[in-house]
Structure 1
Amino acid sequence: MRLVMEPLGMVAEVVDVESLKRWSQIPPVHHLTDYSAIGEEQKHTTSPFPYNSAINDKIALWLGDISLLSVDVIVNSTNESMTERNPVSDRICARAGVDLKEEIRQEVKECKTGEVRVTQGHNLPARYVIHTVGPKYNLKYQTAAENTLHVCYRNVLQKTRELNLSSVAISVINSVRRNFPPDEGAHIALRTIRRFLEQHGNSLDLVVLAVENIDVGIYEVLLPLYFPRSIQEEETALWQLPVNIGGPDGEPLLPDRQIRIIDNPQHSLDVLSEDESDSSSHSFDECDS
């Protein structure tokens, strides 16, 4: 057991992640409703997230201080100038010490929305810290905000893989301070993590979902939908999952807004002469400080 000193001289225990229960070891706490018996129509005919014990063994839900976790890397959600004050960031910075602040000030300096930056862990139990900036949420630009949040989680996981690290503790990146609905943020986080583990599960041994009190209830309810622990939970999720469960990587899918023009002869000629349609890219470099 390793101990660290709190700012006021109190001693806090470092948490060995090997002591954390995996999701597969936690029994269901909610009664499974038989939706077929009450005549409710299911949203999916086959499970988009089938029961997979190997993937469940790589997930841990943990309510506690992420800065105490002895993992390869932890995630810090911040702003573009990397100066945001929130309880999670404050604890990370306090335990890492002044060297982390200096590394950010001298070398990293900034992080654009949706991107990630890596620093040393310094005095933290974790070897590294991945910093990322979540989006502001606005109903007018809802799809852009959802896609940017997906990019945050995906970039965190991809960077962990690029660094050849096997364990990562991820704090909740979406923030009510930026008006992001906690439940929508959790759906995006869980399906993005699930899809990544399906594709690159061999590169990661453990993903810790490090949550605060405000989010733990949401994750307890939604985790069984994306990481069912039994065939029964998988079947129940057919009714409880949202209709839109994202693309191959868990990314939000844009609704098709194209208008079919069937009575325009010129349009028909244009279609015959073009084999490919243009695709546009999205930039997420808007200021979010």
Structure 2
Amino acid sequence: MSTSPSDIPTLADLYSSGEVVAGDGEVKYNHDEVLNKRVSIWRGDITKLKADMIVNAANSSLLGGGGVDGAIHRAAGPELLDECKGLGGAETGETKVTRGYELPSKYVAHTVGPIYSSKHKEKCQNQLQSCYESSLNLCKKYDGGVIGFSSISTGVYGYPIKDATEIAIKTTRKFLENDQSVTRVIYVVFSKKDEEVYKSVIPNYFPPPSSSSSMTSEK
């Protein structure tokens, strides 16, 4: 059974219910209630999300693998692999789109996240940012709507979850400020621990109404 975005609370809803509260970190943007209604954090199964596009944390072959990647391929059926075979793989930070086939999502954006290395931290940051930027831009290209993100590179690729979450949310904020076609960004997390990280980071980029007087813009 699929889950509709209308059944998933927005960030504005989470603030109203007290499930997300303002954090202790530096608030980097002004409050924008309209933007807060375009973002969600959802602990669930991305293969069940009825979205216009979901983002798969793929490997460079784009031919499936473990974790979320394998789950998406299994749920989509063999036609997804057949289409992926014709894409010629992808570089780290690059994203390519296929149809969703048996998934409730229309499209799948296959993005290749970096394998984390503390010796190449800046390079990894840029590559991960590119994953989110390219996925959002492709969603826009394919008529926008709802996009669901898995937590890219935070599994076997070893990217520290808090650092990765900062990049994901910051990149999303910058994009949504200049785009109307993507109507909802849903961060789909697997564990309660990851969900709490997202909830702790997001108020710095999408702050609640009460923080609006003390913000410094980071454009």
TM-score normalised per structure 2: 0.90
Distance 1:225 1:32, change over 3 A: closer
- Amino-acid identity (%): 27
The answer to whether 1:198 aligns with 2:186 is no
1: CA distance, partners of 2:51 / 2:20:
30
Quick check: 1:77–1:89 contact (8 Å CA) kept in 2? yes
Quick check: 2:63–2:84 contact (8 Å CA) kept in 1? no
Distance 1:111 1:221, change over 3 A: same
Equivalent in the alignment of 1:23: 11
Q: CA deviation at 1:84?
A: 4.6
Distance 1:234 1:131, change over 3 A: farther
2: CA distance, partners of 1:120 / 1:211:
22
Bigger radius of gyration, 1 or 2? 1
Select the residue among 48, 60, 81 that pairs with 2:40.
60
Moved more, 71-80 or 212-221: 212-221
Quick check: 1:228–1:234 contact (8 Å CA) kept in 2? no
Equivalent in the alignment of 2:50: 70
1: CA distance, partners of 2:36 / 2:66:
30
Equivalent in the alignment of 2:188: 210
1: CA distance, partners of 2:155 / 2:147:
23
Equivalent in the alignment of 1:251: none
Q: CA deviation at 1:169?
A: 0.6
Equivalent in the alignment of 1:255: none
Distance 1:90 1:233, change over 3 A: farther
Q: Counterparts of 1:46-195 in structure 2 under 5 Å? A: 48-105=28-85, 107-195=86-174
2: CA distance, partners of 1:125 / 1:211:
18
Q: Deviations over 1:125-178 (max 9, x none)?
A: 111100000012212211011011001100000111111121111111122422
Q: How many residues align?
A: 216
2: CA distance, partners of 1:76 / 1:32:
30
Q: Deviations over 1:36-83 (max 9, x none)?
A: xxxxxx96xxx5311100000001111000011111110001110124
**Structure 1 letter corresponding to 2:144:** L
Quick check: 1:225–1:233 contact (8 Å CA) kept in 2? no
| Alignment root-mean-square deviation, CA | 2.2
**More relative contact order, 1 or 2 (CA 8 Å, 6+ apart):** 2
**Structure 2 letter corresponding to 1:60:** S
Structure 2: which 5+ runs fail to align?
none
TM-score normalised per structure 1: 0.69
2: CA distance, partners of 1:90 / 1:185:
21
